[in-house]
Structure 1
Amino acid sequence: MTSTTLIKNGVVIDTEPEPVVLGQVDVRIEDGVLAEVGPGLTAGPGAEVIDATGRLVLPGFVDTHRHTWQAGIRAVTPDITFPGYLQRIIGELAPRHQAADVYAGNLAGALECLDAGITTLLDWSHIQLTPGHTDSAVRALRDSGIRGVFGYCYGGAPGGLDSETRRVREQLSGTSGDLVTMALAALGPEIAGEERALEEWRLAAELGLPVTAHLGGHGSESAARGLAFLESNGLLRTPTTFVHALHYTDEEFKRIAAAGGSVSVSPVDEMNLAIGYPVSGRARAAGIPTGLSADTVVCAPGDMFSQMRTAHLLERGRPDGAGLGFSTRDALRMATIEGAEVLGLGDAVGSLRPGKQADLIVLRTDTLGMAAAHDPIGAVVLNADTSAVETVMVGGRVVKSGGQLLHHDLATVLAALKESADNLARA
């Protein structure tokens, strides 16, 4: 029996091929899939009807790179630079995490995403100290109800990369209906050296996994050397996301585009950690699909509204004036369909095209911060915040309604997170 949901009377924003306001139209969903978008759609017997009068309806946001496990150490280093981050977070706090801490952080972090309208998440998980840590991270993603790509970054004893990656791949084999799939989160040539990078990319190719790696964030010489290594070894035949990508030249961006690479930008974190000026406009100008990400809540906000606003501000404020063509529509596209393309999910999510998964959000406009907005897309990017997120759907399943998350006892989730945070602070 077909399950039907009809969202009626909302002002609908679609994002493919470019963001556009469709006006007051309806959205019909059948068995979790977008079936039709248009005026005057009928519900049919037994359909669930969501009245979106006075609301904006649009695709859910896509976060292309987040260290989700760090939800339990939020704002622990709000004014730190990158070397300090490596010392405090990776060197000191990460080793204190037990498997239970990873579960608490990943569950709370994924629910934070859903609460803020992020329906798809690349969880760049570099807390794999033991198989138990890994299993806890995956279980939390599954329990949250988010559409997740688990970016597995092996961090155990030397020699275990191959066997552990294969074990996790077996768990996340992409069976029908599983919202959590897998990418290989590689340390890469600039962080772990060329020998490890060869093993990472070749293993990903064998297992049919995309790669996501922090590349181009450690200076121009390191960026050029790492890119040349990937090219000379034919590794970019495997779909690769360049996280941060801060120090590539325009010519190097063209080479990345020609190889089919993508870029993930973390505009708040990149500025706050003083690692470089975000490359949103330069990467997109080269024809590279470019998405947005929160990166980490240890020193940045975790919502997509902040990322869109910051990307828009910094691009238009580039000292050379070259970013003045960057628009609120560009920012929204990066947060939706373009982010989905970065994750290889452009045919599944990121827009309201019929046949895609019904991952969408409904935003309130009956607030002083959103009322009387003449340009709905401009309002989403420049005026909305998490309090506007009223309804969230993932695969047609409502996970937030009336401004409240469903399916989880938030008091229990938050109590576990607080206990974890207290333990980590004492350790």
Structure 2
Amino acid sequence: MTMDRTLIRGGTVITMEQGSSAQVADILIEGDQIAAVGPDLAVASGSANLVDATNHIVIPGFVDTHRHVYQILMRGLGSNWSLMQYLTAIIGTLGPSFTPEDLYLANRLGALDAIDSGVTAVFDWCQQSTSPEHTDALIAGLESASIRASFGAGANIIDLQDCLRPPFTSSVPLNSDELHRLRNKYSSDTGLLTIGLAGRGPDHTPIEVVQQDFALARELGIRINIHLGMPGGSTVERLDDAGLLGDDLTLGHCNNFSTAEVQMMIDHGVTASVTPEDECNMGHGWPPIGRMVAAGLWPNIGTDTCIAVGGDQFTAMRFALAVPRAQDNSVALASGQGPWTLNLTTHDVLRMATIEGARALGQESRIGSIAPGKQADIVMINTADVSMTPVLDPVASVVHSAGRSVVSDVFIAGRQVKKDGQLVGTDIAQLQGAANQAAHALLERCGITPGWVPPAPDNAMHLAGKENVG
């Protein structure tokens, strides 16, 4: 049987390989892998499917390291909610009302939305593993979209009633049998779907339970991804004291870490996932990007939740560039000087959104850059659009000018999942109708009407860190 071959011809290729620069080149895909990259590749006529990449920039697929994929079914519902209102709503009100059918649809929609904007791999930080039926439906939704995903199970493989109200703490360990079931059923470490642990961490669980959870994940050989460093939360030091830091761990947000804690992460190979648009909007604290890069820790980028913000990595990159630049510039301005140089570059944030994201998934040897032997996760950006003209600096054009509307073609493991601006094999009208119906039914079950705001709990002042205000 002849191997499937595709030749992407004549695009401006940004490989994200160390030391490389943008160049007009071809990319030969054989099966699910990149076979060759270079100008004017010699390929026999008719031996490969030809994709004309003239007037296109070609980049590695984005890797989103922190996305609650299913929450797209509530797109925009929490655009005016704070972090604490969001947690109250998603854990206490909305979460318990999702059916397995809702979650299949939500994860299919969320994965397709990610692909549409150039995301080829995602860590799906899921809070709805409330039963085996719910979890299997979520995973089926991801698989139906053919996205590369690390499914973050575990956040709610517990008794939900144990943590429905703020401050959302639980002392119940993970369901070991269920995590074993998922590891055994979806056991591939090299396919499109892998299993990870969406851990609760010491912000929400006693450290003794965190130790049990981490030990279970490490016994099963799966990566760990937790939220840490948000207002009033725990510290990296607590994890270090408990001997829990390691290069299989990703910490999400990290907003309020000290310089010493960032160094602890570096010392133990811990990766950092920042979600700058969401963090600025909802009140996590300033994204720590500038401080981390200055210390030698390169973060990676996620979008977090479409309840509150948009779902494309281009916007996330722009926030990841603008916020640390503004912080640096403010120091110079405060001293009465205009900034002369900018420390962070467009290439830096593209690096965060690609190869550094791959590193956080433990897959940097397979994805995150365009090189022979790597998986063919590739995105083509149409530069003939008025929004992209002219292209003087290809990297800057990707970061500052591009968006999902100019993502023309997407390949995941060599398979074309977006072609000429359209998702392949997807009935958009049917998907839209089903999503609208499911979303409105969910809100009706929850008693949510337009303008609804999550009610403040009795301990709201304490949770907001304002107990001493007055």
- Name the TM-score, length of structure 2 as normaliser: 0.87
The equivalences for 1:256-271 within 5 A come to 256-271=265-280
Q: Per residue, is there more strand in 1 or in 2?
A: 1
Deviations 1:357-391 (A, max 9, x none): 00001100111110112101001000111101000
Cα separation, 1, equivalents of 2:12 and 2:59: 9
**Corresponding residue for 1:91?**
92
Shift of 1:413: 2.0
Q: CA RMSD in A?
A: 1.6
**Corresponding residue for 2:390?**
372
**Corresponding residue for 2:11?**
10
**Corresponding residue for 1:164?**
178
Name the SS for the 2:37 alignment partner: strand
User: How many residues are aligned here?
Assistant: 421
**Corresponding residue for 1:25?**
25
From 252, 261, 286, the counterpart of 2:261: 252
1:286 maps to a residue whose letter is: A
Shift of 1:160: 5.5
Between stretches 360-369 and 154-163, larger displacement belongs to: 154-163
**Corresponding residue for 1:173?**
187
Cα separation, 1, equivalents of 2:324 and 2:219: 38
The equivalences for 1:66-77 within 5 A come to 66-77=67-78
Deviations 1:67-104 (A, max 9, x none): 01101101001111111111122211111111111111
Shift of 1:4: 1.4
Deviations 1:217-274 (A, max 9, x none): 134xx443xx223212222236110100011111210111101100000000000001
2:303 maps to a residue whose letter is: A
Are the equivalent residues in 2 in contact too, given 1:63–1:335 (CA < 8 A)?
yes
Name the SS for the 1:148 alignment partner: strand
The equivalences for 1:102-181 within 5 A come to 102-155=103-156, 156-157=158-159, 158=172, 161-174=175-188, 178-181=191-194
Shift of 1:281: 2.0
**Corresponding residue for 1:272?**
281
Identity, in percent, stands at: 36
Cα separation, 2, equivalents of 1:18 and 1:382: 22
1:191 maps to a residue whose letter is: H
Q: 1:134 to 1:15 in 2, by over 3 A?
A: same
1:337 maps to a residue whose letter is: I
Are the equivalent residues in 1 in contact too, given 2:173–2:212 (CA < 8 A)?
no
Deviations 1:290-313 (A, max 9, x none): 110010001111000000111111
Shift of 1:161: 1.6
Shift of 1:42: 2.4
Q: 1:248 to 1:19 in 2, by over 3 A?
A: farther
**Corresponding residue for 1:300?**
309
Name the SS for the 2:111 alignment partner: helix
Are the equivalent residues in 1 in contact too, given 2:202–2:234 (CA < 8 A)?
no
**Corresponding residue for 2:449?**
none
| Structure 1 unaligned spans of 5+ | none
Deviations 1:298-348 (A, max 9, x none): 111100000011111111111325993001111100111111111111001
Cα separation, 2, equivalents of 1:65 and 1:207: 21
Are the equivalent residues in 1 in contact too, given 2:13–2:59 (CA < 8 A)?
yes
Highest CA radius of gyration, 1 or 2?
2
Cα separation, 1, equivalents of 2:248 and 2:5: 36
Name the SS for the 2:179 alignment partner: helix
Are the equivalent residues in 2 in contact too, given 1:186–1:213 (CA < 8 A)?
yes
**Corresponding residue for 2:228?**
215
Q: 1:363 to 1:67 in 2, by over 3 A?
A: same
| Structure 2 unaligned spans of 5+ | 160-171, 333-338, 446-470
Shift of 1:18: 5.4
The equivalences for 1:413-424 within 5 A come to 413-424=431-442
**Corresponding residue for 1:49?**
50
Cα separation, 2, equivalents of 1:18 and 1:151: 33
Aligned structure 1 segments of 4 or more residues deviating by more than 3 angstroms: none
